[in-house]
Amino acid sequence: MPTLELKPPRSYAQRYALKHRVAVYFSGVVLYISPIELQIVYKLKLGSDKDVEDAVYLYSALRPYIKAEELNMWARALGADLSPLN
């Protein structure tokens, strides 16, 4: 299961994540998360076995909702390799 991190935005990607946040409804409460495409690419960029495993899990579980153009854009911007998703 992916972990949760909270910190103030310092980069373009972090500001983008806040501006394009996604509402998730959980037990009657609204939680906001960053776009899934950005989460996947960020975890691939981090590169630990756990992070890559999390990225593959998120990609597999949410594939119908993932925007391929956005995933590829973030992979280029952050220099991440998308091959583990195949």
Domain ranges for the chain, please list them.
35-86
For the segment 42-68, the average pLDDT, to the nearest whole number, is 97
Alpha carbon distance 55, 47 (integer Å): 10
Query: Per-residue confidence at 11, pLDDT binned at 50, 70, 90?
Result: very high
What's the pTM value of the predicted model, to 2 decimals? 0.86
Bridge partners, 33 (sequence order): 22
Closest CA to 48 of 2, 7, 14: 2
pLDDT score recorded for residue 77:
97
Q: What is the DSSP string of 41-74?
A: HHHHHH--HHHHHHHHHHHHHHGGG--HHHHHHH
pLDDT score recorded for residue 48:
97
**Could you report the per-residue pLDDT of 20-45, keeping only the tens digit for each?**
999 999 999 999 999 999 999 999 99
Closest CA to 35 of 9, 3, 65, 61: 65
